[in-house]
Structure 1
Amino acid sequence: MAIGAFTTLRNLLVSRLTIGIGGLLALGLTTAQTVVDAMSPHAVPTVAAGTPIVAGRWQVTLHEASLSTDKRPDGYRGRPGTKALAVDLDLANRSSESNNVVSRILSITPPIAGLSPTPTAYLMRDGALLGALQPGLPERIRMVWEVPDTTPVPETLRLVVTGETFKPRDNLFAAPGWFNPKPVAAVTLPLKQAGKDPDR
């Protein structure tokens, strides 16, 4: 009888000890992951202009950047007191569906004061605003931000390309999609100063 009670007590202690160790390990792993996530991210690789960059659903090739008061590809002159900061790039949709969420692909670092939060994208072949980009059909795009005339701008522009990862099933709805946006490459372009549009 005493042996049975001792065995039961021992099994209970081993079980609780195992649960306690497992809980401590889980807490330790969670803490370590939190610390790693809070640390500075690894340096973003820098690539040369004209280099194709695979960024999840997109392939991006940056060509040149300019600052001007000239008319935009669709003829719009911009708001008075602003200039257009433009970046020309080739963009290809690597996914299987049409998409137009291109405004999150590029970010300018360090940020420029007064820069519009999101760019407007134009198709260079006809000057139209970019609608949905079809899969497998690369396009030459011009992305345009507005910046106040009085804002000082750098001589070079560092552009960071953001990529996403495809997951066949997400954790919330078990649906496919592109997730986890993160910087995948950076390109530094000289910022060309274009002339003022005489009709402005």
Structure 2
Amino acid sequence: MGASGLFGGLDVVEKPAVPPAVINEVNHGQPWNVTVVRARLLNELGDLRLQKEGDRWFAIVAEVEVTAPESRNDVGDVLSISGVEGLLDEAPQHIVAVRDASRVQYLNPNMPERIGFVWEQSGNAPLPTKVTITIYEKTYRASTLTDHMEWLDHEPRAQLEVPVEDKRAS
């Protein structure tokens, strides 16, 4: 190990920058394809109730298509956001189908679904005008613990900045 230090073996290796994605274009990958459609602020969202009066909903709408051969129950792993202050949780509080506002728990292969990833934002927080969205991927490989094939290595695969539409009722 001492010899490898002489040849740069102990140097910090920088991860490559996350490639850019484009709004309304499919970002292909495993175990899902993702098309980010929009970001919105809302006062109401079907039968979902805000925890605190005066708060608002922050929603990312994305079309997700499972590319893996089996149904997926890890929809919350598809994307994350940054650049929005005052969210009550880091993860979305609700993940719903846009077509009927039903909770999304499983997605089936080759059946794209338009999904709302929804966070509650404090009414005292500044109104965001843009959001950075990171799309994630996983790798199908043998687990080092069980030696079974699993979807592992939840890693960023693409990133994009999206304008936020204020669709709250006046």
Give the TM-score range, shorter chain: 0.7 to 0.9
Aligned length in residues:
167
Deviation track 1:17-66 (CA, whole Å, cap 9, x = no partner) reads: xxxxxx655x649x836722xx4x32222222111112421110000110
For the pair 1:129 / 2:123, whether they are aligned, the reply is: no
For the pair 1:141 / 2:115, whether they are aligned, the reply is: yes
Aligned partners of 1:96, 1:189: CA distance in 2, in Å? 30
Contact 1:61–1:91 (8 Å) recurs in 2 = yes
Aligned partners of 2:83, 2:168: CA distance in 1, in Å? 25
Helix, strand or coil at the partner of 1:100: coil
Deviation track 1:92-121 (CA, whole Å, cap 9, x = no partner) reads: 111122112111221112353334221111
Q: CA deviation at 1:83?
A: 0.8
For the pair 1:49 / 2:23, whether they are aligned, the reply is: yes
Aligned to 1:87: 60
Gaps of 5+ in 1: 1-22
Deviation track 1:112-134 (CA, whole Å, cap 9, x = no partner) reads: 33342211111122220002111
Contact 1:55–1:161 (8 Å) recurs in 2 = no
- Distance change >3 Å, CA 194–CA 126, structure 1 → 2: same
Deviation track 1:120-172 (CA, whole Å, cap 9, x = no partner) reads: 111122220002111111111111011101111321111011111111x2211
Q: Which has the higher Rg, Structure 1 or Structure 2?
A: 1
AA paired with 1:161?
I
Contact 1:69–1:77 (8 Å) recurs in 2 = no
Aligned to 1:11: none
AA paired with 2:155?
K
Aligned partners of 1:196, 1:33: CA distance in 2, in Å? 56
Percent identity between the two aligned chains? 26
Q: Structure 1: which 4+ aligned runs deviate by more than 2 Å? A: 31-35, 109-115
Aligned partners of 1:44, 1:77: CA distance in 2, in Å? 35
Contact 2:134–2:158 (8 Å) recurs in 1 = yes
Instruction: Output aligned runs, 1:10-49, within 5 Å.
Output: 24=2, 28=5, 32=9, 35-36=12-13, 39=14, 41-49=15-23
* RMSD between superposed Cα atoms in Å: 2.2
Gaps of 5+ in 2: none
Aligned to 1:78: 50
TM-score by length of 2: 0.87
TM-score by length of 1: 0.75
- Distance change >3 Å, CA 91–CA 111, structure 1 → 2: same
